[in-house]
Amino acid sequence: MSTKPSDLFDLSGRIALVTGGSRGLGYEMVRAFAAAGADVVVTSRKLEACQKVAAEVESLGRRALAHACHVAHWDEIDALVEAAYDHFGRIDILVNNAGMSPLSPSSAETSEALFDKIVGVNFKGPFRLGALVGRRMVAGEGGVILNVSSSGALRPDPLFATYAGAKAALNALTTAFAHEFGPKVRVNTISAGPFLTDISKAWPEEMREHANSALGRPGRPEEIVTTALYLASEASGFVTDALVRVDGGLR
């Protein structure tokens, strides 16, 4: 393996699929992967938003496919996988990034519909997508699966108990998939802390400026990039079944 950092993080010739890729952390990862040489499948619920990001990828000289998909719906996931493989022939890097984290007034007041929606997006979808793509990776040349989880899974709060439980399940899924699909497929988790993505616009100003962490602040979206590139590339060739905290040192 080359010791040149530029070679270690090179994704030239790779095909990446990023869910929730039209904004927030997913958008930053899409742009970073493309800049590192990867072609990208950009997916989220809104096709127009995916197309806009796909055009940015193409402006960087890479190929892109925009495909709308609600990851809580398995039939849409199946269609996404078929579209990606029909277009590019394979997937080398899968990033399960799509998520949602609505608050609940209490556990008893959490409706079944809301519970199912949160679990569907944060766990059910990644399970199905990882299962389908992981199987194909094993049958092919291997690959990388990256699950984007949350510090909420490690520090659950009553206000987001369902979300915390779904992300904790996603953490467990990383271990299960790493051993099911290894050694040809590496599977890891990014445990993301508070980031100043679109969702943070609803936070109080104090939360946007300060965090109960060693660094004392929320993360900037682009600060997810180096960890994502590390885990997606050969730089982390001996890393699997790992949970990497990117949270500024939350207490």
Tell me the pTM: 0.95
Report the number of distinct structural domains present in the chain: 1
**Exposure class string for 84-102: b at 16+ Cβ within 10 A, else e:** bbeebeebbbbbbbbbbbe
Query: Is residue 35 in a domain?
Result: yes
Query: Is residue 81 in a domain?
Result: yes
Q: What is the CATH number of the domain that holds 147?
A: 3.40.50.720
Give the range of the structural domain holding residue 125, as residue numbers without chain letter: 5-246
Query: Is residue 67 in a domain?
Result: yes
- pLDDT tens for 104-160 read 889 999 999 999 999 999 999 999 999 999 999 999 999 999 999 999 999 999 989
Query: Is residue 251 in a domain?
Result: no
- pLDDT tens for 24-41 read 999 999 999 999 999 999
- pLDDT tens for 181-213 read 999 999 999 999 999 887 767 767 777 788 999
Residue 206 has a pLDDT of: 77
Query: Is residue 52 in a domain?
Result: yes
How confident is residue 44, by pLDDT bands cut at 50, 70 and 90? very high
- pLDDT tens for 59-100 read 999 999 999 999 999 999 999 999 999 999 999 999 999 999
In angstroms and rounded to an integer, the radius of gyration of the C-alpha atoms of the chain is 17
Catalytic residues: 149, 163, 167
Residue 78 has a pLDDT of: 98
Query: Is residue 130 in a domain?
Result: yes
How confident is residue 1, by pLDDT bands cut at 50, 70 and 90? very low
41: Cβ contacts below 8 Å, ≥ 6 apart: 15, 16, 17, 18, 21, 64, 65, 67, 80, 83, 84, 87, 88, 91
Query: Is residue 77 in a domain?
Result: yes
Query: Is residue 88 in a domain?
Result: yes
Residue 109: CA count within 13 A, CB half-sphere: 8
Residue 210 has a pLDDT of: 87
Residue 104 has a pLDDT of: 84
